[in-house]
Amino acid sequence: ATMAEEAKKLAAYAAVDNHVQNNQAVGVGSGSTIVYAVDRLAARVRQEKLNIVCVPTSFQARQLILQHSLALSDLDRHPQLDVAIDGADEVDADLTLIKGGGGCLTHEKIVASCAKHFIVIADYSRKDSKVLGQQWKKGVPIEVIPMAYVPVCRTIVRRFGGEAHLRMAVSKAGPVVTDNSNFLLDWKFDGAQNWREVNAAIKMIPGVVDTGLFVDMAERAYFGMEDGSVQVRDPAVA
Ligand SMILES: O=C[C@H](O)[C@H](O)[C@H](O)COP(=O)(O)O
């Protein structure tokens, strides 16, 4: 495996080992890093005969849970989760996150909001930043109702600057369609922002479903490092 893949695995294993216990309901995030967390969950369930249920944050997460024969649940049956573990596209010094690079931000945010503890896993490369946008250059993903994408784009750029573009699919003609049958905008912002305010303001624009900004949600981040260690970040105490 490449260094970055090894680092994803280190972070994922540390999070599962430190935060998952018997008799828990666990939120399972999306992306390439979470794959290692589900591997570890499945191994621990087998070895330690853990009794846990998993609530997915995406179609991909649901597939991972089923492929590993873990107990699949949902927020109807488990509206309170003990812990949710998820990846991120970028993490700043306050543990504000950009998520949704893989298109799954809305379900991820709902699941994270239902968890007592929300734990982020990432590798050292391009994700561990002082401020958002330092390394992640694709902008903030925003899920929108399809018929509103043009007015939402214009409103965001008028009020907050930068550029916003409809995310286009790669192996299909036309736009990316989310798990909720919506579209995605990627807002490339200029410079520093007050993320709490910007997130709230964008959410209030009619047609916006949710944003990939996760403010005051993550309790801890694990970064797998190049040297094989795992770095832990907790939010600075205000
Ligand atoms: O939409 C995707 C999710 O927010 C992912 O958690 C995020 O993109 C990180 O994914 P990865 O672990 O593949 O970098």
Question: For 3-129+215-225, which CATH class?
Answer: alpha beta
Cα separation values, 195 from 12, 41, 87, 104, 161, Å: 26, 33, 19, 20, 14
pLDDT at 102: 97
Say how far apart CA 97 and CA 202 lie, in whole Å: 16
Say how far apart CA 137 and CA 135 lie, in whole Å: 6
Residue 143 CA to ligand 1 centre (angstroms): 15
Catalytic positions = 108
The answer to pTM > 0.95 is: yes
pLDDT at 237: 64
158 CB neighbour count, 10 Å cutoff: 8
| Residue of 6, 8, 33, 60 to mutate, ligand 1, most atoms within 8 A of C-beta | 33
- In the chain, residues under CATH classification 3.40.50.1360 are 3-129+215-225
Residue 134 CA to ligand 1 centre (angstroms): 17
Q: Is the pLDDT of residue 165 over 70?
A: yes
* Ligand 1 atom nearest residue 127's Cα: 14
> 217: pLDDT confidence band, cut at 50, 70 and 90?
very high
Pick the CATH number of 140-211 from 3.40.50.1360, 1.10.1070.11, 3.40.605.10, 3.30.70.260: 3.30.70.260
ipTM of the complex: 0.97
Mean pLDDT within 42-63: 98
- Averaged pLDDT score across all residues of the chain: 97
> 183: pLDDT confidence band, cut at 50, 70 and 90?
very high
Q: What residue's CA is closest to ligand 1, atom 7?
A: 88
Say how far apart CA 81 and CA 21 lie, in whole Å: 12
The answer to whether residues 178 and 191 touch, using CB atoms and an 8 Å cutoff, is no
pLDDT digits (tens, 9 = 90+) for 18-48: 999 999 999 999 999 999 999 999 999 999 9
The dihedral region occupied by 100, where left means phi > 0, alpha psi between -120 and 50, and beta the remainder, is: left
Q: Within 6 Å (CB) of ligand 1, which residues are found?
A: 29-33, 86-89, 99-105, 108
| Residue of 6, 32, 35 to mutate, ligand 1, most atoms within 8 A of C-beta | 32
